[in-house]
């Protein structure tokens, strides 16, 4: 199947109209919301991403996707600026509509597309589900920290693929590049086929932070129960902990009886085997 087999589409452009963005999401599987971040937030986030990327490279732990692109994982551990971003009101507006309330952060990562980077393979963010779903189970916000262009590796998208129940092997020629100004948010349905583009510029780097969210019954991509900094666990806001999954939801995640509610805490003294008189036994 190719996009050339279908009538030409008037594809979404960057907009400041939230309702228009929802219309684009429903029809095409993605929307570009301009002005999602102020210039000051863009500058601060970009500086923190650049600094962290250089620091991880200096320590020999930088993760490189292909020969040029770099990714930074587990951003909730790497600065309050990232924890604030995962609670941005726009996440509530869009993820609340796409995934219903009580959605979780599945992962928070950064993607730096550098010159010479090869295109990422085309995929959907819920590719681990082996059947099509009439509603998305996951969804994503790519916060643009630079202008996104086709030349610098703007995310490749297959418009409308989120509505196709058949698993199709799309080709790069079926895609378009998401383009928008720094500070815009690329919001996309987890069923839509996409992938990082190829940066063909001589010296331009393209930075983004990816807030990947899921419904509260879906297993998260990053395991915050094990990986979130224990020091932050004791000091962070309840809203952060809830979004990271440190909360019982509809009986899921509990450590005791089904009616257990509230925040999760490590089990210090688990109930072990006992005899009929209630005395501990070793079996």
pLDDT range class, residue 6, cuts 50, 70, 90 = low
Element (H, E) at 69: strand 69-72
Q: Say whether pLDDT at 223 is over 80.
A: yes
pLDDT digits (tens, 9 = 90+) for 102-139: 999 999 999 999 999 888 899 999 999 999 999 999 99
pLDDT range class, residue 261, cuts 50, 70, 90 = confident
pLDDT of residue 8: 57
pLDDT range class, residue 1, cuts 50, 70, 90 = very low
pLDDT range class, residue 262, cuts 50, 70, 90 = confident
Q: What is the pTM of this model?
A: 0.92
Position with higher pLDDT, 258 vs 277: 277
CA atoms within 13 A on the CB side of 265: 8
Contact 11, 86 (CB under 8 A): no
Q: Which residues pair with 249 in a beta bridge?
A: 252
Cα–Cα nearest to 199, from 265, 131, 136, 114: 114
pLDDT digits (tens, 9 = 90+) for 23-57: 999 999 999 999 999 999 999 999 999 999 999 99
pLDDT of residue 264: 84
Residues in the chain: 283
Q: Say whether pLDDT at 20 is over 60.
A: yes
Element (H, E) at 112: strand 104-113
Token pair of 212, please? Answer: 């990947």
Give the C-alpha separation, 90 to 240, whole Å: 15
**Residue 131, number of CB atoms within 10 A of its CB:** 6
Give the C-alpha separation, 40 to 46, whole Å: 10
The fraction of the chain above a pLDDT of 90, given in percent, is 83
pLDDT range class, residue 157, cuts 50, 70, 90 = very high
């Amino acid at each position: 199947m190719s996009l050339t087999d279908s009538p030409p589409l008037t594809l979404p452009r960057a907009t400041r109209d939230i309702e228009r963005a929802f219309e684009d999401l429903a029809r095409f599987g993605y929307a570009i919301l301009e002005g999602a971040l102020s210039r000051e937030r863009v500058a601060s986030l970009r500086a923190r991403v650049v600094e962290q990327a250089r620091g991880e490279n200096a320590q020999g732990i930088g993760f490189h996707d292909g020969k040029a692109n770099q990714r930074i994982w587990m951003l909730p551990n790497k600065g309050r600026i990232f924890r604030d971003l995962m609670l941005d009101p726009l996440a509530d507006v869009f993820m609340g509509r796409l995934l219903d309330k009580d959605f979780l952060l599945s992962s928070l990562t950064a993607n730096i597309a550098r010159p010479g980077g090869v295109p990422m393979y085309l995929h959907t963010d819920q590719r681990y589900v082996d059947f099509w779903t009439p509603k998305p189970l996951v969804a994503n916000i790519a916060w643009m920290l630079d202008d996104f262009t086709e030349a610098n590796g703007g995310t490749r998208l297959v418009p409308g693929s989120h509505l196709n129940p058949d698993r199709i092997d799309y080709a790069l020629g079926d895609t378009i590049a998401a383009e928008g100004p720094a500070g815009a948010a690329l919001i996309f349905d987890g069923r839509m086929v996409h992938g990082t583009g190829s940066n063909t510029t001589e010296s331009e780097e393209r930075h983004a932070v990816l807030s990947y969210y899921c419904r509260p019954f879906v297993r998260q991509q990053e395991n915050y129960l094990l990986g979130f900094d224990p020091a932050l666990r004791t000091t962070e806001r309840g809203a952060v902990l809830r979004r990271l999954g440190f909360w019982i939801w509809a009986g899921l995640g509990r450590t005791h009886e089904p009616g257990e509610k509230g925040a999760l805490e490590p089990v210090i003294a688990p109930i072990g085997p006992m005899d009929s008189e209630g005395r501990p036994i070793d079996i």
